[in-house]
Structure 1
């Protein structure tokens, strides 16, 4: 008798302007591919590294210098992230980023994408990372968000119409607040079956092991009511 297919949900709490979240996304994708006997559903949940950025955004260079204190420190940090990203197939172009956006609207679109299924939402999340970190696009710009939504398989005119309103702004802010109440202070955070949190851009093997172990425990009925 063939064993039933194991399944698992992974909620990825992230911000689309977090470089570690982009690295984490790549590593999670590799981890899922390494465990083909587990059906993994990935759901993207919002987090804002800085919700105080105004809707029109801030000059990236000025913002980052104010945040990290010196150009030398910033270059050192970017160099390290760029090296780690290259290993995962990411071509970080920090010099090409001119705007630090408020990401509330990007998270609203990701929330709407979930109604079309995990695959569409996943495509959109990956596209947002690419647009910001590799192409230097302003993902606070509604035109950029709408185009990306269309590429991911959403109805672009509907997204444009909804972005023009404040639809789901409070819901997204509420989810961000919930993450904080859960003790999530940094991202990415991978939440397995809504119960087990793995913090940070862990390596692929660590994520794959977590998928295997938690899926097996779920299959044995050990997570119920846990």
Structure 2
């Protein structure tokens, strides 16, 4: 029985890109354990309007005090340093727009159905944190779909509707109701959880612990 790891994350969360790379490294560190990695949606700020908002203005409001600005600067530098070690090219200065991430989560949902969830996550993280693209824009999402070999016409048609909005919202609601308040969070077999972009070594131990304590079979 594989260990099912559900990574709950947001596509506008820089720690989540780091967390994705680290969980993938952790999985490679336990080759004797079969792991199925699934990506689940979480919006850090679902109040963002559908069209998004100016990024710099949003960040000014979010980190308005001198102390908060200092923390934000330190966090960015830490991410840049961690990113260099993980070959993640953060370019925060390129970001000009803070999108609503719902439609990006819909794209991941569709990609995951085609076994391309990891490719979609990686492409979306890179588009936002390296290229400074608006991943709430349907044209950008269709272009990313094309990059990962999803049918861009089908994706464009789906994005023009409310397809799977209810499904994605329901998943988000579930994870909030079970107590997740920060991402990335990893859930193994719906039994064990680890939160934060932990080191690959710690995540590998987390995976092995889950493998050694499988869910009880239903009677």
TM-score (norm 2): 0.93
Instruction: Please name the residue that 1:91 is paired with.
Output: 89
RMSD, aligned CA:
1.4
SS for the counterpart of 2:190 is: coil
Instruction: Please name the residue that 1:56 is paired with.
Output: 51
Instruction: Please name the residue that 1:206 is paired with.
Output: 202
Instruction: Please name the residue that 1:46 is paired with.
Output: 41
Give runs of aligned pairs for residues 2-13 of structure 1, distance below 5 A: 7-13=2-8
Report runs of 4+ in structure 1 exceeding 6 Å deviation.
Answer: none
| In 1, Cα distance between equivalents of 2:92 and 2:129 | 7
User: Is 2:120 the counterpart of 1:127?
Assistant: no
Deviates more, 1:166-175 or 1:176-185: 166-175
Give runs of aligned pairs for residues 1-226 of structure 1, distance below 5 A: 7-69=2-64, 70=66, 71-117=69-115, 120-218=116-214, 223-224=216-217
SS for the counterpart of 2:194 is: strand
Flag structure 2 segments of 5+ consecutive residues without an equivalent: none
**What is the aligned length?**
215
| In 2, Cα distance between equivalents of 1:34 and 1:172 | 31
Flag structure 1 segments of 5+ consecutive residues without an equivalent: 1-5
TM-score (norm 1): 0.90
| In 1, Cα distance between equivalents of 2:74 and 2:113 | 40
SS for the counterpart of 2:129 is: helix
Deviations 1:145-197 (A, max 9, x none): 11111222211110000001111112211211111101000000101112211
| In 2, Cα distance between equivalents of 1:125 and 1:194 | 22
